[in-house]
Structure 1
Amino acid sequence: MNNEWIQFLQAHPEPVDPASSSAAGWAPLDTRTSLLVSGEEAGEFLQAMLTQEILLLDGTHAARGALCNAKGRISTTVLIHPLRPQGREQGSEQSMTYRLTVPSELAADLLKTLKLYVLRRRVVINGNDDWQNIGVLNPDPAFLADLGIAASASDPLAQSTLPSGVIVTWEHMGDDARLSLQGPTSVLLTLAPHLPQRTSNSAWQCAEINDGIPTITQETALHFVPQWLNLDQLNAVSFKKGCYPGQEVVARLHYLGKSNRRMIKGSTRLTDPVTPRSVIYPANSPETEAGEIVRSAICRVGNENMQVFLAVIRLNHLHDELLIEGQPCTLQPGPFLETAEQRH
Structure 2
Amino acid sequence: MDTGTCFLADRGVLKIVGDATALLHKVITNTMLNFVPGEARYSALLTPQGKLLFDFFILPLPEGPEAGYLIDCAKEQSADLLKRINFHKMRAKFTVEDVSEQFGVAAFWGSDPAPAIEGAVIYLDPRAPEMGKRLIASRAALAALPADTTAYEAHRVSLGVPKGGVDFPYGDTFLHDANIDRCNGVDFKKGCYVGQEVVARVHFRRSARKRIIPLHFEGPTPALGTEIKAGETSIGQVSSTAGAAGLAMLRLDRLEDARTAGTPVKAGEAVVEAFVPAEFVESAAGVEKRL
Q: TM-score range by the shorter chain?
A: 0.7 to 0.9
2:125 matched to 1:168? no
Per the alignment, residue 271 of structure 2 pairs with 328
1:50-69 residue pairs with structure 2 within 5 A? 50-69=28-47
Per the alignment, residue 43 of structure 1 pairs with 21
Per mean C-alpha deviation after superposition, the further-off stretch among 170-179 and 334-343 is: 334-343
Q: By how many angstroms is 1:323 displaced?
A: 3.0
Per the alignment, residue 201 of structure 1 pairs with 149
Q: By how many angstroms is 1:132 displaced?
A: 1.8
2:169 matched to 1:224? no
2:236 matched to 1:291? yes
**C-alpha contact 1:73 1:223 (8 A) present in aligned 2:** yes
Q: Which amino acid aligns with 2:252?
A: L
2:60 matched to 1:82? yes
- Give the match's secondary structure for 1:54: coil
- Give the match's secondary structure for 2:176: helix
**C-alpha contact 1:103 1:215 (8 A) present in aligned 2:** no
Per the alignment, residue 104 of structure 2 pairs with 132
**C-alpha contact 1:24 1:137 (8 A) present in aligned 2:** yes
**C-alpha contact 1:173 1:211 (8 A) present in aligned 2:** no
Per the alignment, residue 32 of structure 1 pairs with 11
Q: Which amino acid aligns with 1:324?
A: A
- Give the match's secondary structure for 1:290: strand
Q: Which amino acid aligns with 1:50?
A: I
| CA 1:272–1:317: 2 relative to 1, 3 Å | closer
- Tell me, in whole angstroms, the C-alpha distance in 2 between the residues paired with 1:47 and 1:264: 30
Q: By how many angstroms is 1:84 displaced?
A: 4.1
Gapped regions of structure 1 (runs ≥ 5):
1-21, 89-93, 148-161, 300-304
**C-alpha contact 1:37 1:99 (8 A) present in aligned 2:** yes
2:69 matched to 1:98? yes
Q: 2:200 aligns with which of 233, 251, 255?
A: 251
Per the alignment, residue 224 of structure 2 pairs with 274
1:307-326 residue pairs with structure 2 within 5 A? 308-319=245-256, 320=258, 321-325=264-268
- Tell me, in whole angstroms, the C-alpha distance in 2 between the residues paired with 1:232 and 1:23: 25
State the TM-score, normalized to the length of structure 1: 0.70
Percent of pairs with identical residues: 22
- Tell me, in whole angstroms, the C-alpha distance in 1 between the residues paired with 2:153 and 2:193: 30
- Tell me, in whole angstroms, the C-alpha distance in 2 between the residues paired with 1:57 and 1:117: 22
| CA 1:122–1:172: 2 relative to 1, 3 Å | closer
Measured against aligned partners, the alpha-carbon deviations of 1:206-226 in whole angstroms (never above 9, x if no partner) come to 212222222221870122212
**C-alpha contact 1:132 1:188 (8 A) present in aligned 2:** yes
State the TM-score, normalized to the length of structure 2: 0.81
Per mean C-alpha deviation after superposition, the further-off stretch among 71-80 and 24-33 is: 24-33
- Give the match's secondary structure for 1:224: coil
Q: Which amino acid aligns with 1:38?
A: V
Corresponding residue pairs, total: 277
Q: Which amino acid aligns with 2:7?
A: P
**C-alpha contact 2:128 2:183 (8 A) present in aligned 1:** no
**C-alpha contact 1:274 1:296 (8 A) present in aligned 2:** yes
| CA 1:125–1:199: 2 relative to 1, 3 Å | closer
- Tell me, in whole angstroms, the C-alpha distance in 2 between the residues paired with 1:257 and 1:28: 37
- Tell me, in whole angstroms, the C-alpha distance in 2 between the residues paired with 1:225 and 1:84: 33
- Give the match's secondary structure for 1:70: coil
Q: By how many angstroms is 1:43 displaced?
A: 1.0
- Tell me, in whole angstroms, the C-alpha distance in 2 between the residues paired with 1:242 and 1:271: 44
- Tell me, in whole angstroms, the C-alpha distance in 2 between the residues paired with 1:210 and 1:332: 11
